[in-house]
Amino acid sequence: MFHSIPAMPRTCQIGLLLYPRCMPAGLLGFADLLHAANRRTGQPLFQTRFVGLKAGPVICSQGLEMQAHGSVDDPLLDAVLVPGFWAESASEVEATLQNNTALIRALARLPKRSQLWSYCVGVSLAAASGRLDGQAATATWWLLDTLRQRHPKIRWRAESTCIHATRHATASGVSGYLPIAQHLIEQTVSPAIVQDLVKLMVLPRPAQTHDAFQSLSLIQQPSTLLRKLHASVDALPADQLTVDKLADLLDISGRTLARKVKDETGCAAATYARRIKLAQVAERLTLTSAPLSAISNELGFSSDSNLQRMFKALTQLTPLQYRQQFSR
């Protein structure tokens, strides 16, 4: 769902928001893209600067200290970009929200003309401000159930990885700043300029994947338990995936595994394990030409029809439709 960002005749002033434990890498990437757009067009279309609840040093993730050069409530700002922060569970997201109540109030006070852009778990801060109420929005998939419960006035769209509306944009994943920047440049200048920047900056062509499988690779897992769980699920045949079997492999009780997986992912352990196994199916569908029967046999599903049923229930696509839509 895309709507044009309103034309801005003067230089667009964008605040890159810093707050404790935020991940600033995306802010830097966003700023570099807009700087490149200025250089490519020969016009000062965009100006970015780091802002915070107030001017001064901010301790970001990994103990990195960065300097906010102004306040987020600067009336000259046309837009504010909210990055994600380190969180491994819904409870950690809740703790971060509680620790940033003053910042959330500041976001809520932004002028109506100001645009609020957010990505990854930073969307939770934008949602808490009330600025997304009544609008469509998206966020990192594992957080969506929590956000639906906490903010029922927002129309959450799990099927979309990036949504632009008149006064806000939301995107999932730690690289969510990229589609926000690309859309901004396309609407302000042209799609051709974006393509030039992709070539100039050697940006990879985004690897398309279904929202259900985002953040499911082994390397992306934030905790030792989830990494061990992923490795165990990958190794087991699909028809042997049970919570008790996985708990035995991890040397913990089934009840403990169920509780920890629920706490860290927001999903039931059996549901999460099934999602991991189906992500293996999706990977083979997009990266190989193997027939479904071979994939089903390799990954240990009881039957092709059972695999198709579970896959469509999760993605709303048949395996064939998925391959046609997402194959590289």
pLDDT digits (tens, 9 = 90+) for 55-108: 999 999 999 999 999 999 999 999 999 999 988 888 999 999 999 999 999 999
Q: How many Cα atoms occupy the beta-carbon half-sphere of 205 within 13 Å?
A: 3
Q: Where are the domains of the chain?
A: 12-200, 212-326
Least confident of 10-19, 50-59, 156-165: 156-165
Name which of 18, 172, 140 is nearest 82 in CA terms.
Answer: 18
Task: Tell me, yes or no, if the two domains 12-200 and 212-326 fold the same way.
Answer: no
pLDDT digits (tens, 9 = 90+) for 24-56: 999 999 999 999 999 988 899 999 999 999 999
In terms of DSSP H, where are the helices of the chain? 25-41, 90-99, 101-108, 123-128, 144-150, 177-188, 191-200, 224-235, 243-250, 254-265, 269-287, 292-299, 304-315, 319-326
CA distance 288 to 224: 30
Token pair 């949602």 in the structure block, residue: 127
pLDDT digits (tens, 9 = 90+) for 122-148: 999 999 999 999 999 999 888 888 999
Name which of 118, 46, 107, 49 is nearest 82 in CA terms.
Answer: 118
pLDDT tier, 207 (very low <50, low <70, confident <90, very high otherwise)? low
pLDDT digits (tens, 9 = 90+) for 168-177: 999 998 889 9
* Residue 140 pLDDT: 85
* Residue 2 pLDDT: 44
The pLDDT of residue 1 is above 50 = no
Q: What average pLDDT score do residues 271-287 get?
A: 90
CATH class of 12-200: alpha beta
Q: Which has the higher per-residue pLDDT, 5 or 201? A: 201
Q: What average pLDDT score do residues 211-220 get?
A: 71
* Residue 97 pLDDT: 96
pLDDT digits (tens, 9 = 90+) for 224-268: 888 889 889 988 999 999 999 999 999 999 999 999 999 988 889
Our measurement of the distance from residue 175's CA atom to the centroid of its chain's CA atoms, rounded to an integer in Å, reads: 7
Instruction: Tell which phi-psi region holds residue 208, choosing left (phi > 0), alpha (psi between -120 and 50) or beta.
Output: beta
pTM: 0.63
| Average per-residue pLDDT for the chain | 89
CATH number of 212-326: 1.10.10.60
* Residue 230 pLDDT: 87
Q: What residues form DSSP beta bridges with 68?
A: 56
Distances (CA, A) of 90 to 225, 260, 324: 16, 12, 34
Token pair 């046309």 in the structure block, residue: 78
* Residue 273 pLDDT: 94
